[in-house]
Structures are given as C-alpha cells and as structure tokens.
A = this chain, B = another copy of it.
Amino acid sequence: MTRKVCVVVTARASYARIRSVLNAIRSHRDLELQLVVAASALLDRYGNADRVMVSEGFEIDRRVYMVIEGENLVTSAKSTGFGMAELATVFDDLKPDLVVTVADRYETMATAIAASYMHIPLVHIQGGEITGSIDEKVRHAITKLADLHMVSNPNAAERVIRMGERPDRVFTTGCPSIDVARQAIEDASLDFDQLFERYGGVGERPDLSEGYIVVLQHPVTTEYAASKRHVEETLHAVSDTDVPTFWFWPNVDAGSDGTSKGIRSFRETHELSKVHFFKNLPPEEFIRVLYHCHCIAGNSSVAIRECAYLGVPAVNIGTRQEGRDRGANVVDVPYERGAILAAIQKRLGAGRIASDLLYGDGHSGEQIAALLSTAPLEVEKRLTY
C-alpha cells in the first residue's frame, strides 16, 4: 500500500538539502509525496524557495506563511507557535502516514510537535550531530520527538542511541545534502559570465584568473549583540587578503540584523572592490562555485559537511560549528582578523584535498525513500534505559 509522506520545507537551504529525498519519494512506487512549504521558504527576501520548487517540477500541496517579522528571539518563538497551529490543520487535512522534518532550524520544531502530538510517525533527518548555539537544543529535542532517525554518520547514530532511542529506529543514511554535491560536480564546469548575468548580486565583477575564495557567515543566535563585531573581523581579513571573493548573504535567523548591518556599514566605509555579494545561488551552482575555490571561510555548515565530500579546504570561524564532526578539510580559527587572514592565505593556490565520506556518499535520497516505504509506523516509544 502506498504511504503518504509529508515533507515540510521551511527554508531555501532546507530545500537544497532535502531535494534528493523529495525526488526519491516522488519516484518511489510505494510512496506519495505531500509537499508543504512554509516560513522563509515562501519569502522573497530569502530567495522564494517555493518558486524554485515549482520550477523544478514539484507540486506544492500547502503554503503556510508563518514568519512573524522582527527577526529577534521573541519572534522566533511566536513564528514557531503560529506555524505549529497551522501545520496541525494541514496535517489534519492531508492525513499523511509519515511526516519528515530536516535538521534543526528553530521553526522545524513546529513540524515536529504538530506531527508527534497528532500521532503521525515523525522522521528526523540529520539528528545526532553536535553544533554550537540554540540549534543544539532544537535538534536533540526533535530527536526525542521523532520515531525514525536518518543520520549522517556512525557518530551521529551513536549519539542518538545514547540519548535513549531504540537502535533499530536509527538509520545511517548519510546526509542528503551530499547528494546535491555529488550531482553538481558530475559536470563541474562553471560559466561565470552566466552566473553574473543570471544572479546579479552587488559589487564589481572580480577578475577570476587567479582564483577566488568564498565567504558565508551566519549570525550566532545566542550571541546576538556580538554578530556585528564578528562579521567585521571577517570583513577586515577578506579585505586584507585582497583576493577575489564571493560573499553569500546569511539566511534569516534571530540576529541576522547584526551580521547584515555589519556588512552594510563596512561596505560604506571600506574599500571592498574585489568582493562580490550574492543573495542566493541555486544549490548546484553554489556547489560548483565552492568546488573551484581556494577555500571557504566563515561559519557555515556547508564548509564542514559538503566541503568534506568535495575536498574543499575550509576556514571555520568562531563558535558556531563547535563540536560538529569534521574531516581533514577544516581549520578552526577564532573571530580574529589576523588568524582568519593567515588561514586563508595558507590555502591560496594549494588546491583541493581528498574527499571524505563523513557526511555521506551522495546517495542518501534513495536510501531514505526506501526506508520510508518499509520502516515501522509506530508513535509510542520509551527511553531505552
């Protein structure tokens, strides 16, 4: 019998991460995909992930606007609450056999609670990982609500089990975000002319003959006030490096104002002629841009996860990724312009390193879909100790 699998996508980045799963569900003869798009995935200033999905052939079953404007800690909680209330109505209407939620963004708790309170088996992708910040609380709380766990690697599996989950409900599938990376570099060629033409961005177009670096720095939510200062260290380092740079704008999150304003005011007072700012690239393009760079700097998980697979060196700045399992491609530095600069300079011209399958082998989507079609549909569970 066909199982209805409802996937709730709340951000553009989550869509990129989950797309191979969506495709695999859609192609699976025993599964029916129900796609709910919510939160910043519907918003213009976060890249209208909904339009991307439609353009990529997905049919959206429900749209739920749920982000309360304010971008602060109060509105994070309010958005989650209102979203939860509406997702309950959506699940009541769609009657899925399984609900899938991804990772640890604050608003994913809305999905997790609505599904678990409604006794719909909840599948969590990407549990058991260690990171800094409030995400840590969200991720592990969702683990305690979820019935089935699709994790990235044996370390994550072990942590989920140690938290008291049944071992036979924890599956090491790798992370589907690696699937995107694998597919993107099947043809790794990159047409920069097209890139600038299609995706615009702000800043001059750099001369790329000597290569370039990539920067992606998010605010660290529990250190709200410091976000501006943090990003300024990176801005100084990048400015001093004097290498062409693609800087990607941070996602919405409590605290994004600090980071965004830091960037904006730096731009007004400093020369950043070699830096080109992008808001969003489609995930494949983004991967290919990464694949060819000297290194990525910042605090994005992509530097640790996808770049492990890609073999791209990463300069990881500050506390945001503290504790996350990392491969040989990562160098950690503090929020300090000298340290950031030195770490970047070391990688210029040094090339890629060996691929590390720490976060998956690029075939997670099919594995997860296969499990969704056969895994036991139970909603009662108990600590294993």
Contacts and interface: CB of A to CB of B under 8 A. Distances in A.
Interface in A297-327: 322-323
A68 B65 contact: yes
Interface in A85-136: 85-89, 91-93, 106, 109-110, 113-114, 116-119, 130, 132-134, 136
A67 interface: yes
Interface in A42-86: 42-44, 62-71, 73-78, 80-86
Contacts of A385: 159, 162
Interface stretch (A138-146, A346-354, A363-371): A138-146
Contacts of A65: 68-70, 74-75, 78, 89
A382 interface: yes
Contacts of A164: 140, 159, 162-163
Given A137-B145, A140-B164, A145-B137, A77 B113 contact: yes
B70 A68 contact: no
Copies in the complex: 4
A383 interface: yes
Nearest to A62: B93
Contact of A222 (B80, B87, B380): B380
B86 A89 contact: yes
A21 B254 CA distance: 33
Nearest to A40: B69
A24 interface: no
A84 B80 contact: yes
A142 B116 CA distance: 14
B93 A85 contact: no
A13 interface: no
A257 interface: yes
A379 interface: yes
A82 to B, nearest CB: 5
Contacts of A114: 77, 81
B78 A89 contact: yes
Interface string A236-258: 00000000000000000010010
Contacts of A229: none
Contact of A143 (B82, B93, B144, B381): B144
Contacts of A64: 89
Contact of A144 (B74, B133, B137): B137
Contacts of A162: 162-164, 385
Contact of A113 (B80, B85, B254, B380): B80
A296 to B, nearest CB: 24
A83 B81 contact: yes
Nearest to A74: B92
Contacts of A137: 116, 144-145, 381
Contact of A69 (B67, B76, B84, B323): B67
A91 B134 CA distance: 18
A54 B60 CA distance: 27
A73 B113 contact: no
A89 B66 CA distance: 10
A163 to B, nearest CB: 5
24 contacts: A42-B70, A62-B93, A65-B68, A65-B69, A68-B69, A68-B85, A73-B117, A76-B118, A78-B84, A80-B81, A81-B84, A81-B85, A81-B86, A81-B88, A82-B85, A117-B134, A132-B380, A136-B383, A140-B383, A143-B144, A159-B385, A162-B385, A222-B379, A322-B382
Interface of A: 40, 42-44, 62-71, 73-78, 80-89, 91-93, 106, 109-110, 113-114, 116-119, 130, 132-134, 136-137, 140-145, 159, 162-164, 222, 254, 257, 322-323, 379-383, 385
